[in-house]
Amino acid sequence: MPITLRWTSADLEVLPDDGKRYEIIDGELYVSRQLHWHHQYTCGRLFSVLDAWSQRTQAGWPNLAPGVIFAEDDDVVPDVVWVSHTRRAAARGHTCPCGDFNLAAVTRVCVPSGHTL
């Protein structure tokens, strides 16, 4: 019977800091290259809207591409997140441990190739 390798949060610590995006989803490692300009622009626009609303309401904070840990074998880098002040208090360092709660918004932005913004 073949042994299946399951990646964990600890494995991310030994990967190179080479500008690539490393994510673990259900124990499987995903590596992606730097995102396209239009993709990043769309993320920035969404962040701006969430930030303006958050400042008006004082309800929480948006963030761009933070590390989010849902479980030891689920470490992801969503494009944009929004988290309430209460839930943000549980975050530490450059990651947000989210196993015991759900983020209010976790967004992966998809921009079709050639789309004009």
Q: For residue range 48-82, what is the model confidence (pLDDT) as tens digits?
A: 999 999 999 998 888 887 777 777 777 777 888 88
| CA distances in angstroms from 66 to 5, 55, 113, listed in the order given | 25, 19, 25
| Three-state DSSP class for residue 55 | helix
Rounded-to-integer distance, Cα 29 and Cα 12, Å: 9
Nearest by Cα to 34 from 43, 24, 45, 25: 43
Rounded to two decimals, what is the model's pTM?
0.62
Q: For residue range 12-38, what is the model confidence (pLDDT) as tens digits?
A: 888 888 888 888 888 888 888 777 888
Rounded-to-integer distance, Cα 76 and Cα 37, Å: 21
Contact in structure between 71 and 2 (CB atoms under 8 Å): no
